[in-house]
Amino acid sequence: RLLVDDLQVRDARLALATAVQIVIRNGLDLLGVSAPRSM
């Protein structure tokens, strides 16, 4: 959930979600598994 009053919390959560996306994508690439662009 990214809808919060505190902008720093929102930005931190968005950065975390982006980092997790990158890690998952890289891990799947290493395994040779394709993933959908969106769900």
> Running DSSP on this structure, what letter comes out for residue 12?
H
CA–CA distance, 35 with 22 (Å, rounded to integer) = 12
Please tell me the total count of domains within the chain: 1
Domain that holds residue 5: 1-33
Flag whether 29 is in a domain. yes
Flag whether 24 is in a domain. yes
| pLDDT of the residue at 2 | 62
CA–CA distance, 6 with 38 (Å, rounded to integer) = 27
Each residue's pLDDT tens digit, 1-39? 567 788 898 899 899 999 999 999 999 999 999 888 776
Flag whether 39 is in a domain. no
**The whole model's pTM is what?**
0.72
| pLDDT of the residue at 36 | 80
